[in-house]
Structure 1
Amino acid sequence: MTTRIDVPVGRGRITGLTTDGEAGTPLVVALHGGGYHSGYFDVPGHSLLDLGAAAGFAVFALDRPGYGGSDPLLGEASFAGSAEVLDAAIDTLWTEHGRGRPGVVLIAHSIGSAIAVHLAARHPRWPLLGISLHGIGDRSPAHIVDAWHAIPAGAPMELPAEQRRALLYGPAGTVDAGVVEAAKASVEPLPLAEMLEIVGEWPEDVAGLAAAVTVPVQYTLAEYDGLWVVDENRVETFAGYFTSAPWVDARLQAGAGHNLDHHRLSRALHLRQLAFACECATRVPAAGD
Structure 2
Amino acid sequence: MSNATSPTARVVLVDGVPMSGLLAEAQNPRAVVVALHGGATTSAYFDCPGHPALSLVRFGPSHGYTVLALDRPGFGASALYAEEFVDPTRRVEMAYAAVDKILGGRDRGAGLFVLAHSNGTELALRMAADDERGAALLGIEISGTGLRQQDAARAVLAGASVTNVPTGLRGLLWEPAELYPDGIASAVRIKTGPISPGYEADVVANWAETVTELAARVRVPVRYVLAEHERVWSTDEAAVREVTELFTASPDVTAVRQPNAGHNLSLGHAATEYHLGATAFAEQCRARRTGSGGTTTDFTMEAS
TM-score (norm 1): 0.86
**CA–CA distance in 1 between the matches of 2:33 and 2:285?**
12
**Cα-to-partner distance string for 1:217-260 (whole Å, 9 max, x where unaligned):** 01101232232222121111101111111101112334322111
Q: Where do 5+ consecutive residues of structure 2 fail to align?
A: 1-5, 293-304
1:137 to 129, 132, 146: 146
Q: Residue 94 of structure 2 aligns with which residue?
A: 85
Superposed displacement of residue 123, structure 1 = 3.3
**CA–CA distance in 1 between the matches of 2:208 and 2:168?**
23
Q: Residue 74 of structure 2 aligns with which residue?
A: 66
1:245 to 239, 246, 250: 250
**Cα-to-partner distance string for 1:118-176 (whole Å, 9 max, x where unaligned):** 11001343831100111111122455455545357xxx42647x745311123244334
Matched, 1:125 2:133: yes
Where 2:78 maps in the other structure, the secondary structure is: coil
**CA–CA distance in 2 between the matches of 1:76 and 1:285?**
35
Where 1:136 maps in the other structure, the secondary structure is: coil
2:196 to 190, 193, 202: 190
**Cα-to-partner distance string for 1:172-211 (whole Å, 9 max, x where unaligned):** 44334x2xx134222111235414522x212012222111
Deviates further, 239-248 or 79-88: 79-88
Q: Residue 213 of structure 2 aligns with which residue?
A: 208
Query: What percent identity do the matched residue pairs reach?
Result: 35
Q: Residue 150 of structure 1 aligns with which residue?
A: 159
Number of aligned pairs?
278
User: Structure 1 residues 158 and 187, CA, compared in 2 at 3 Å: closer, same or farther?
Assistant: farther
**CA–CA distance in 2 between the matches of 1:158 and 1:266?**
29
Where 2:224 maps in the other structure, the secondary structure is: strand
Q: Where do 5+ consecutive residues of structure 1 fail to align?
A: none
**CA–CA distance in 1 between the matches of 2:87 and 2:40?**
15
User: Structure 1 residues 256 and 241, CA, compared in 2 at 3 Å: closer, same or farther?
Assistant: same
Alignment of 1:1-289 (within 5 A): 1-43=6-48, 44=51, 45-71=53-79, 72-75=81-84, 77=86, 79-93=88-102, 95-98=104-107, 101-125=109-133, 127-141=136-150, 144-145=153-154, 147-151=156-160, 156-157=162-163, 159=165, 163-176=168-181, 178=182, 181-188=183-190, 189-198=195-204, 200-285=205-290
Deviates further, 72-81 or 23-32: 72-81
**CA–CA distance in 1 between the matches of 2:249 and 2:202?**
28
AA paired with 1:133?
I
User: Structure 1 residues 151 and 242, CA, compared in 2 at 3 Å: closer, same or farther?
Assistant: closer
**CA–CA distance in 1 between the matches of 2:276 and 2:85?**
36
AA paired with 1:88?
A
**CA–CA distance in 2 between the matches of 1:82 and 1:140?**
26
CA contact (8 A) 2:29 2:66 kept: no
AA paired with 2:163?
M
**CA–CA distance in 1 between the matches of 2:85 and 2:28?**
39
User: Structure 1 residues 78 and 158, CA, compared in 2 at 3 Å: closer, same or farther?
Assistant: farther
**CA–CA distance in 2 between the matches of 1:123 and 1:98?**
24
User: Structure 1 residues 272 and 19, CA, compared in 2 at 3 Å: closer, same or farther?
Assistant: same
**CA–CA distance in 2 between the matches of 1:76 and 1:96?**
27
CA contact (8 A) 1:29 1:104 kept: yes
**CA–CA distance in 2 between the matches of 1:184 and 1:22?**
33
Superposed displacement of residue 283, structure 1 = 0.9
RMSD: 2.5
